[in-house]
Structure 1
Amino acid sequence: MNNCYRASGLLILVLAGCSAPPQTPTLQREVGQLNRQLQTLTAQAIALEQQNSLNSHSTHGVYLLPSAKSSAILQSNIGKLSVSLSNIESEANGTQALLHIRLLEGAALPAFHAQLDWGQLDPVSNKPLPSETQTQALALDAPLLPKAEAVFGVRLSGVTPEQLGFIRLHQVETNRP
């Protein structure tokens, strides 16, 4: 009988050694990563909701919130456009970014001009601060080869990428000869 107890005790020790304790630091690190991803996605979803709200009240332009990381659609005088931002980076006098304007109807973009506004959002109302808004003109000359998308390198002075709350593209008109 004594041998039976010893064998059982040995078996319990062997089994206990096989089931290693959970690796707490690894689990904590993974939970931390998941929390950061969830916070990022939540902030992006809130920004997208704000962008959609601004655009639902805008009849002559389209708003993009950099934190939404999403394109927006503009029904313009030159057709239905998809507008988006990428490569938002700091520069000496503010922010630089790439503005993508794509004609969704499959035709080539005509030569056009437009206005681009940018600035900060009011932290309470989540609407653009008119006193802080800046404007620049955009123009696309007739390209040598027809294309459906134009990419503009834009310099948005006066705001850092962290402060850049919105851009607004409006007054899109074809160039008159």
Structure 2
Amino acid sequence: MTRRYLRILVVGSLFTLSACAQQSEVRQMKQSVNTLNTAMTKLNQETVKITQQNALNAKSSSGVYLLPGANTPALLKSQIGTLRMSLVNVAPNADGTRATLRIQGQSNDPLPAFSGTVEWGQLQGTTESYQEVNVQNQLVTAPASVLAPSDVDIPLQLNGTTPEQLGFIRIHDIQPAAQ
């Protein structure tokens, strides 16, 4: 009788352990699916921003647009040469948004000292028919580079606009600094 009872107990325990293992595997699978869904949503949002940024830049006759969330550089032909610009480290702070404008020279020459205008605000409407709203601007300057090819990081403080409100940044009027 004891052996029979022990045998039933062992078989029952194995069945319970097997069910727990399956539940654990199902939980892991659900977690993996949720992680993949989150990644796909982020990629879809980034794709929309890249498409919008490219469309705005194709129509722009003054400067280059960078959209937060696009995570893609844009090229600007300026008086100091072709520049590759990107927006990095966009984050909230007490006064609005802080970000870094990364500018890379495309030639093998160091960048001269330069200045330019950065505008930011919101976009309303569609990519085909849009309006810039609540636009603010600031003058930015950069010292001459010593190394080539050159990379310049310009910290931006975008007051009065949270990262969620920030629809665009446009950089224009890049000019060499007066000697």
Above 0.5 in TM-score?
yes
Please classify the TM superposition score into its range, dividing by the shorter chain length: 0.7 to 0.9
Quote the offset at 1:160 in angstroms.
0.8
Unaligned runs of 5+ in 2: 1-13
Quote the offset at 1:43 in angstroms.
0.4
Where does residue 4 of structure 1 map in the other structure?
A: none
Quote the offset at 1:59 in angstroms.
2.3
TM-score (norm 2): 0.81
Classify 1:88/1:97 alpha carbon distance in 2 versus 1 (closer, same or farther; 3 Å).
Answer: same
> Aligned partners of 1:130 and 1:60: how far apart in 2?
14
After TM superposition, what 4+ stretches of structure 1 lie above 4 angstroms from structure 2?
A: 126-129
Where does residue 36 of structure 1 map in the other structure?
A: 38
Identity value in percent: 36
Contact 1:120 1:164 in 2 (8 A): yes
Quote the offset at 1:129 in angstroms.
4.3
Classify 1:160/1:128 alpha carbon distance in 2 versus 1 (closer, same or farther; 3 Å).
Answer: farther
- Structure whose residues are more often strand by fraction: 2
Contact 2:115 2:141 in 1 (8 A): yes
> Aligned partners of 2:143 and 2:41: how far apart in 1?
42
Quote the offset at 1:21 in angstroms.
4.0
Where does residue 125 of structure 1 map in the other structure?
A: 126
Paired residue for 1:80, among 82, 98, 103? Answer: 82
Partner SS, residue 132 of structure 1: strand
Contact 2:57 2:64 in 1 (8 A): yes
Classify 1:163/1:47 alpha carbon distance in 2 versus 1 (closer, same or farther; 3 Å).
Answer: same
> Aligned partners of 2:71 and 2:160: how far apart in 1?
21
Paired residue for 1:49, among 23, 48, 51? Answer: 51
In the alignment, structure 1 residue 66 sits paired with structure 2 residue 71: no
> Aligned partners of 2:70 and 2:170: how far apart in 1?
14
TM-score (norm 1): 0.82
Which sits farther off after the overlay, 86-95 or 129-138? 129-138
Quote the offset at 1:70 in angstroms.
1.1
Where does residue 8 of structure 2 map in the other structure?
A: none
Contact 2:122 2:133 in 1 (8 A): no
Q: Where in structure 2 are the equivalents of 1:137-156 lying within 5 Å?
A: 137-143=139-145, 145-146=146-147, 148-156=150-158
Root mean square deviation, CA, Å:
2.2
Where does residue 7 of structure 2 map in the other structure?
A: none
Unaligned runs of 5+ in 1: 1-12
Aligned residues: 161
Where does residue 7 of structure 1 map in the other structure?
A: none
Partner SS, residue 109 of structure 1: coil
Paired residue for 1:25, among 24, 27, 45? Answer: 27
Residues 81-136 of structure 1 deviation map (CA, whole Å, 9 limit, x = unaligned)? 000111111111100011111111121111111100011121x3247643311100
Give the AA of the match of 1:112. F
Classify 1:28/1:174 alpha carbon distance in 2 versus 1 (closer, same or farther; 3 Å).
Answer: same
